[in-house]
Chains A and B, each alone.
Chain A
Amino acid sequence: MKKYFKIVLIFTLLVNFGCNTDNFLDEQPRGRQQLDDFFSSEENSINFVNSIYQKINGESWWQVTMPRQINDMATDDNWSGNTLQPRPDITGIAAYNVFPGSTYFNSFWESHYIGITRANIALERIPEVAMDDALKARLLAEAKFLRAFFYFELVRSFGGVPIVTTYTELLEPAINDKVRASVEEVYVLIKDDLVKSIEDLPSKSSQASADLGRVTKGAAQSLLAKVYLTTEEWKLAKNLAFEVMNSGEYSLETDFANIYQTGHYNGSESIFEINYFTNLTFSEVGNGLPITNGSRGDQGWGWGSPTSDLENAFLSEGDNIRLQSTIIKHGEPVFGDPATTSFDGAPDENKSGRTNRKFYIPVDERPVPYQRGTIALPYIHIRLADVILMHAEAAYFDGDEAAALNSLKSIRDRVQLTTDMALSGEALRDAIWKERRLELALEHHRLFDLRRQKINGVPRIALLMGPNGSFVKYNTEISTDPFETTNLQESQDKGIFFDINTHLVWPIPPEEIQLSRGNITQNPGY
């Protein structure tokens, strides 16, 4: 019996004292770095700032880039396009029958704020890191630029939005009680961030080749110019745009067709772009727009199909150079793609049988698999032509018609169009606006331009859309386009439901209203 007792005793002692309970209870998660230990090196700081860049176009989240496409669909440049799959959260919005709960608005809102929080963490933690001071200043300036970019996207889309500028406030319960800041307050923040970032950002020419694609002083100046243009601070816009134009850092591509090319990174005209690349090992590092925007007859989803109205705008200027690099038409060869002699625009499924050439990938340049997130086509947010036209517009409204004309001319010269140097007054203004439409067509600028540009105080979008809008009238009464008038699965009267009291901003996502317990209020009319 004693023998057994000893066995029991030994067993018990082993079991109870074999474990050290302090170690036993101190379990750290495996396989992940922790935030508080992370900001310890230069490399980690750079990596963290890189992740802010990821949010410019939504990372792997294709729904985040869709609102930019939807923005174009809600103008006179694009149809919703995909008539096989009429969706309330895309087609409805394009028609100004707006579904506030659209996943795309929701994702856009959420993703941009994730970017803002990444920037806020970087701005709060990087100053404590022991590293090269110049690099530190640059990284902080990059974070500031990107935060401004995110807020600018949000304020243009939704109007006044809640402002979060620090990371620490996220840790307090009061973070749940934020309300929407005014539009003006958001712009104050944006301008402040951009002005500060300009001080510490490098010029493009001074960047190491591995850093090309990171934001530059020129990018910050250009973005700030656009902000001033939006807030109608003409002189500031004009001067900043002029500074960029004369910085010697950028020049127009000689051939318009070179602007959008796979693998053509940070070209001479490019000021701020996403350097999408192909690497099948890592998902979603490439561009997805060639797929989502592509023809349903060509492995695309068909969202966004250029209008005959846009084509007519090119034709009225005799602008074939830009037309062939902007619009592909069903049954015709594709400019710059010798492999495609008769394009399948699937007019039964794509409203206009037309596709955006700027996001089209010639067949021989397509990766296998050819799918979202694999395509090495850069996405250009700001290029020099945009800045020159900003300058033209700002100069015009600042009363400097000569400067405006010169800028207009430099854009037209590239595509071998003559410029009437006698243009003045509203005719000059309209010419600049039209030039902006043709030059930047289908590059996702149009909606914000049309909301910003006003005639007698009325935003131009309101003149195009609504029951008496010129674009609606054109489609319902004038157009004889063989594709658009036969595929009626997307209604010809797109835009008829436009209401100026509601549709100058998009709705706040209902989810955010619920999550904020009603503190975040909806825009009127939604």
Chain B
Amino acid sequence: MKHSILIVMSILFFGFSSAAQNVVKGTVKDEVNNPIPSVSILEKNTKNGTTTDFDGNFSITVAENAIIIFNYLGYKVKEVKYTGQKEISVALEPDVAQLDEIVVIGYGSVKRDKITSSISTVKGSELAKQVASNPAEALQGKAAGVQVLSAGGNPGASPQILIRGITSANGSTPLIVLDGVMLPSGTSLNFLNPADIENFQILKDASASAIYGSRAANGVVLITSKRGKEGKTKISVDITTGIQRLDKIEMADANEYMQVINQRRTNDGNPSLYDPSTIATDTDWWDETIEDFAPITNANVSVSGGSDKVKYSSSLSFFDQQSNYTKGWYQRVTGRFNFDFKLSDKLTISQDLSPRIERYENTPGLLYNLLRIDPLTEVYLPQSQRTGNIFSIYAPSNNLVPNPVGIVARQFNETMFFGMFTNTKLNYKITPDLTFTSQFGLNITSSRTDAFSPTYFTNPNQQREINTVFRNSSQRFDYVINNTINFTKTISDNHYMNFLGGILYDAQNSNYLNASRDGVPSDEDPLLRYIDAAVGERIVANSNESQRNIFSGIFRGIYSYDNKYTINGSVRADSSSIFPEENKTGVFSSISFSWDIDSEDWFKSETINNLRLKVGTGEVGNDNIPVTARFFQIGDGNFGFNGDRTVTNFLSAFGNTRLKWETVRDQNIGLDVAFWNNEFTVSVEAYKKTSEDLLFAVELPNYTGVPGRVWQNVGSFESQGIDLQLGYNKTVGNFDIGLNLTLSTNESKAVAFAPGNEQLLGQKREDLGNRFIKVTELGQTVGLFQGFQTLGIFQNQTEINSHSSEDGSIIQPNAQPGDVIFQDTNNDGSLTDEDMTTIGNPFADFYGGFNANIQYKKWYLSMQWYGTFGNDVFNYPSTFLNSGIQDVNIAKGTIDRVWTPQNTGAQYPRLTQQDRNGNYLRPSDLFIEDASYLRLRNIQVGYDFTLPGFQKCRVFLSGQNLLTLTNYPGFDPEVSGGGGVIDGFGVDYARNPVAKTFLLGLNLSL
């Protein structure tokens, strides 16, 4: 709603200058020529105003060239320039956008005032302000309760969308529905050109999403693409180009590295390894591996228009993003061709085609390597030591971390991806009230990846004796068929009803073929990097296919009385091929209610112009598990008897024949309030979601000998939260101001467990003793960090001796001064795994976004802030960044941050190679950090100008991620937040951080 106001207010204002006073008279009427009383009339940028009388008449004295503003609730604001007229008669148009905005609700659409559930809308025009490879990025902070977490700075990386936190244990991606067609789960929004999007509707509660039943457990994002409108052909061109830069992570130089490595040994009573007075090499691996700038470009051409019989909207876009490594890039060309044919008054057919081509090279994930490799290693071997090909010139490191420059040089992979999405829709009006719709959506993708690993030799332990060429080919073929009947009627003006029934088919097929062969005759000739050229003995081929199908029936009824009370009920039955015979079908229903309080006769308010209450409850299902989840599968391998190969067969996957639908049941209550003719809007919603029969892949105790994880219905999670959205739109002088603030809370608790699943474990870390650092227990918040509690650092032997149990046994007998004090939680006098306890909570107290749009004459400024507050992150890189464990490099300044007898106030424990106290060998709150942050996601300054022949021209400068306010000592507090709630959520494992991006853009419309 706020956006439509913005558009209204974005009408360009003119400055004024005037001295003379002039009297103007006139009448204000509505669209059917009835006079409107009490219309507010204001001379722009003054306090001079009046209102119309009962007959719609007014009289006002204004300055020369004044702008007169006519404003009346429910009608579009109208401005008229005074140019000496004696009389001005104005006809106000109802503000359809405000009151009657059409909202897509799944297999249909209704006017906004019939919405009974929690739906957020984000307009495509909002997305245009940001250059993003993925439209989802631009959603962040725009709608309350919607989080968009960056997957890191790799080109083409697909961010994670979370709607009201994470309810499901197995993935949390919402269902994406494009123009009515459900896309396969996990579909990246990469395939969509942001410029093609008319709007997003985000269905946040189950009463809104229940109509999508089977796949709506994590919410639904409905995307409507732009369609042609009757009228003159419109052409627009957008070009944006810029650069991305990563903030450098400062690591120790050679001198500090030597000191730290030596101290790790001398503290254990062992001799030093290095002599810091003889530094031959001091390599800065960041500078050697990371490029200063990486370019990013986006270009788009759109054409739309049409007649009353045929309408079209088409676009072609090109996107190119380079990574900050010398390898890694992403290119995409997308086309979209939407056609609407009106064959008769009763029959319309629309046909959408959206082909796309993507090419990319994976961005190396080398942050770990380049942080850990020692600075004493040269990048290249000296000329005299080089043997072999051009891939053999990279020096092996002293601390055995592979040389990242060498890894980049030896990485060859490229993917070519082709996708075609078609959507055919037939709409037949059987009677004026009864419409039949048949829709056929088809998603075909085909991709191939070629990769090559060349031979190289750097030393006997770091070499590849034979090269390998690899090819993957994979396809998808997914289709949906929706047949629905819709009946809409309004009886005696105040009984509105809408009924929908339908039958749906959804089928998804994917398949792949991988093949590789050793022994390409040349390492350097790219023309020979094909399996046909290889001559080696090792040939590997794998291929398989998977198919999943859902058959559904849906029914929905909406009844609204007098536009005040609306009730919406829906039932959906889904049968999924995923589940065993007796559990295939799940039935999901919802009911919701809304009350337009401001439409009541008794409601009289000058300040409040809109007041709506929404209450709803509903169920949705989840079958998002592998097609093989219920099957006990046989794998195969090889073994030798007497030197000959024999086939082996074994149980490779442990199935579960009792699997059933996961059901998410939620309750939502919401209140929308608008003040002062929508100048200030408030929307607040509270919800509770309960996921029952939660599907999760459980790791059984290893003594069961069960391979891999087993899918089970493990219990129930309950999450609660509040979403608050505040909007403020006002014109002050020449300034048009639009502000939008969203704040949300969300936390999930485990409320029930099935027998045998009394706890859920996630995120096993090898370096920390193969312990799971995330534990979900009954009654507790989901995915809490578990580990040892620390009580500071032992300053002397007396403290070590006095850290004892009641019977006097020393709890940490192997400790030395400078080691970490761990809490003996169970007071048994010894430090064991039983002492592990909760050490952190990855859930934020609240998160939210703040957007500001300010327009001044032809200039505009927009800003988007996003932040989370009060969430803990398990900073996994700090297990080595401050310890140098296994002699890896450390963060700059470590030598001053670690405990020594002289530096007793140090933040980090002493350096030790043996680490007999296990300072860095067990999970503890030493690695838990507050990762609250506030980030300026985007700031943009634009200027509108005119060119002959063009309708609109705009040039802008923008910057993304320029400023991040945080105390988090890791690399990127945002990137660290991703992953499943039980497993990865809140664990930082040094993914490539988000880049700062600087962009210059130009938009032209014909």
Q: How distant is A384 from chain B, measured CB to nearest CB, in Å?
A: 18
Considering only residues 616-646 of chain B, those with a C-beta below 8 Å from chain A are: 627-628, 631-646
Please choose the segment from A4-12, A329-337, A443-451 that sits at the chain B interface, where 4 or more of its residues have CB less than 8 A away: A4-12
List the A side residues contacting B526 at CB < 8 Å.
none
The answer to whether A30 touches B546, judged by C-beta atoms less than 8 angstroms apart, is yes
B388 to chain A, nearest CB (A): 14
Q: Which of B507, B518, B703, B770 contacts A101 (CB 8 A)?
A: B770
Verify A277–B645 contact, CB threshold 8 A. Answer: yes
Q: Are B436 and A24 in contact, CB atoms less than 8 angstroms apart? A: no
Please indicate the chain A residues that have their CB under 8 angstroms from the CB of B440 in the complex: 15
Which residues of chain B from 823 to 844 have a CB within 8 Å of any chain A CB? 832-834
5 tightest A-B contacts by CB? A101-B769, A117-B705, A173-B756, A369-B465, A51-B650
Say yes or no: is A279 at the interface (Cβ < 8 Å to chain B): yes
Question: Taking the nearest CB of chain A, how far is it from the CB of B658, in angstroms?
Answer: 10
- The winner among A173, A214, A285, A515 for most chain B CB atoms within 10 A is A515
26 residue pairs of the A-B complex, CB under 8 angstroms, read: A8-B428, A21-B575, A24-B505, A29-B633, A32-B652, A32-B653, A35-B634, A44-B649, A47-B647, A48-B648, A84-B398, A99-B918, A99-B921, A101-B921, A117-B705, A161-B703, A162-B701, A274-B640, A281-B540, A285-B638, A285-B639, A285-B645, A298-B460, A368-B465, A489-B273, A520-B703
A30 pairs with B913, CB closer than 8 A: no
- 8 further A-B contacts with Cβ under 8 Å, apart from A84-B399, A514-B775, are A12-B483, A27-B577, A34-B631, A101-B768, A214-B641, A266-B642, A280-B518, A296-B460
In the docked arrangement, what's the CA distance between A491 and B347, Å?
86
CB within 8 Å for A514 and B771 given contacts A33-B649, A173-B755, A277-B644: yes
Interface residue stretch chosen among B718-726, B757-765, B795-803, B976-984: B757-765
- In the complex the two chains form, is A29's CB within 8 Å of B628's CB? yes
Among A190-198, A204-212, A425-433, the one that faces the other chain is: A204-212
Residues of B420-435 whose CB lies within 8 A of A: 426, 428, 430
Given A38-B649, A210-B641, A512-B701, check contact A106 B270 (CB 8 Å). Answer: no
Q: How far is the CA of A481 from the CA of B701 in the complex (A)?
A: 46
CA distance A279 to B643 in the complex (A): 10
Question: Which of A53, A59, A178, A518 makes the CB contact (< 8 A) with B834?
Answer: A518
Interface presence of B528 (CB below 8 A): no
Residue A174 interfacial (CB < 8 Å): yes
Partner of B650, one of A27, A48, A164, A370: A48
> Quick one: which of A54, A212, A511 contacts B702, CB cutoff 8 A?
A511
In the bound complex, CA of A55 to CA of B159 (Å): 40
Q: Are A301 and B703 in contact (CB under 8 A)?
A: no
- The verdict on B489 contacting chain A, using a C-beta distance below 8 Å, is no
Q: How far is the CB of A237 from chain B (nearest CB, A)?
A: 29
Q: A31-B545, A285-B645 are in contact. Are A520 and B347 (CB under 8 A)?
A: no
Compute how far the CA of A10 lies from the CA of B232 in the bound complex, rounded to whole angstroms: 37
Inter-chain contacts of A60 with B (CB < 8 A): 637
Cross-chain contact A34 with B633 (CB below 8 angstroms) = yes
Q: Is B465 a contact of A15 with CB atoms below 8 Å?
A: no
The answer for the CA separation of A368 and B547 in the assembled complex, in Å, is 41
A210 CA to B645 CA, complexed, in Å:
10
- Chain B residues positioned under 8 Å from A347 (CB to CB): none
Does B302 lie at the interface of the complex (its beta carbon under 8 Å from any beta carbon of A)?
A: no
B706 at the interface (CB under 8 A from A): yes
Interchain CB contact (< 8 A) of A53 among B639, B775, B918: B639
Interface string of B29-58 (1 = CB under 8 A from A): 000000000000000000000000000000
On chain A, the residues within 8 Å of B628 by CB distance are 29, 32
* Binary B-proximity of A38-81 (CB < 8 A = 1, otherwise 0): 10000010111011011000011000000000000000000000
What residues on A are CB-neighbors of B466 within 8 Å? 368-369
Q: Are B916 and A97 in contact (CB under 8 A)?
A: yes
Question: How does the 8 Å CB contact mask read for B217-228 relative to A, with 1 for contact and 0 for none?
Answer: 000000000000
Which listed residue, A174, A280, A489, touches B756 by the CB 8 Å rule?
A174
Q: Is the CB of A47 within 8 A of B438?
A: no
Neighbouring B residues of A47 by C-beta, 8 Å:
636, 646-649
Q: Which one of B531-539, B673-681, B869-877 contacts A?
A: B531-539
Query: Complex Cα distance A85/B888, Å?
Result: 10
Question: Within residues 248 to 287 of chain A, which ones have a CB less than 8 A from any CB in chain B?
Answer: 263, 265-266, 274-277, 279-282, 285
When the two chains form their complex, are residues B505 and A515 in contact, meaning their CB atoms are under 8 A apart? no
Chain B residues with CB under 8 Å of A170's CB are: 654, 700, 704-706
Q: Complex: how many Å from CA A95 to CA B464?
A: 33
Which residues on A are within 8 Å of B, measured CB to CB? 1, 4-5, 8, 11-12, 15-16, 19, 21, 24-36, 38, 44, 46-48, 50-51, 53-54, 59-60, 84-88, 92, 95, 97, 99-103, 106, 109-110, 113-118, 120-121, 161-162, 164, 170, 173-178, 209-214, 263, 265-266, 274-277, 279-282, 285, 296-301, 368-371, 376, 488-489, 491, 497, 509-518, 520, 522, 526
Q: Are A50 and B647 in contact (CB under 8 A)?
A: yes
Q: Mark B185-205, 1 if CB is under 8 A from A, else 0.
A: 000000000000000000000
Using a Cβ–Cβ cut-off of 8 Å, how many residues does chain B contribute to the interface with A?
110
Is B699 on the interface with A (CB-CB < 8 A)? yes
Q: Complex: how many Å from CA A121 to CA B646? A: 20
- Complex: how many Å from CA A469 to CA B801? 26
B703 touches A162 (CB 8 A): yes
Does chain A have a CB within 8 A of B344?
Answer: yes
From known contacts A110-B702, A299-B461, A517-B759, infer whether A24 and B832 are also in contact, taking CB-CB under 8 Å: no
CB nearest to A514 among chain B residues: B772
Considering the chains assembled together, what is the distance between the CA atoms of A504 and B673 in angstroms? Answer: 72
Give the chain A neighbours of B631 by CB distance below 8 A. Answer: 28-29, 32, 34
In angstroms, how far is the closest chain A Cβ from the Cβ of B9? 45
- Inter-chain CA distance A285–B643, complex, in Å, is 10
User: For residue B632, which residues in chain A have a CB less than 8 angstroms away from its CB?
Assistant: 34-36
Q: Contact between A210 and B642 (Cβ–Cβ < 8 Å)?
A: yes
Neighbouring A residues of B575 by C-beta, 8 Å: 21, 25
For the complex, is B939 an interface residue (Cβ under 8 Å from A)? no
> Which residue in chain A gives the minimum CB-CB distance to B636?
A47
Given contact pairs A15-B483, A276-B640, A54 touches B648 in the complex (Cβ within 8 A):
yes
Q: Which of B461, B644, B770 contacts A511 (CB 8 A)?
A: B770
Q: Is B686 an interface residue (CB 8 A)?
A: no
Partner of B483, one of A16, A263, A281, A511: A16
Q: Which residues of B contact A526 (CB under 8 A)?
A: 832
Q: How far apart are the CA atoms of A100 and B346 in the complex, in Å?
A: 75
Provide the residues of chain A in CB contact with B347, threshold 8 Å: 4, 8
Most buried by A among B540, B632, B636, B703: B703
Is B280's CB within 8 Å of the partner chain A?
Answer: no
> B271 on the interface (CB 8 Å rule)?
yes
Kindly identify which residue among B400, B646, B755 contacts A84, using a CB–CB cutoff of 8 Å: B400
A35 touching B651 by the CB < 8 A rule?
Answer: yes
- The reply to whether the CB of B914 lies closer than 8 angstroms to some CB of chain A is yes
Contact present for A53 and B648 (CB under 8 Å): yes
Q: Is the CB of B642 within 8 A of A280?
A: no
Closest to A15 in B: B481
A4: chain B residues at CB < 8 Å are 343-344, 346-347, 428
CA distance A60 to B503 in the complex (A): 49
Closest CB-CB distance, B463 to chain A, in whole Å?
Answer: 8
A24 CB contact (under 8 Å) in B507, B769, B834, B915:
B507
**Is B3's CB within 8 Å of the partner chain A?**
no
Rounded to whole angstroms, the CA-CA distance of A390 and B767 in the bound complex is 40
In contact, B400 and A85 (Cβ under 8 angstroms): yes
Q: Tell me, rounded to whole Å, the shortest Cβ–Cβ distance linking B112 to chain A.
A: 31
B275 sits at the interface (CB 8 A): no
B649-A51 in contact (CB<8A) = yes
A126 to chain B, nearest CB (A): 12
Task: Find out whether the CB atom of B549 lies under 8 angstroms from the CB atom of A24.
Answer: yes
- Cβ of B548 under 8 Å from chain A: yes
Chain B residues near A512: list those with CB within 8 A.
701-703
Nearest CB on B from A493, distance (A): 9
Let me know if B308 is at the binding interface, CB within 8 A: no
Contacting pair B769 A510 (CB below 8 A) = yes
A432 to B53, CA, bound (A): 119
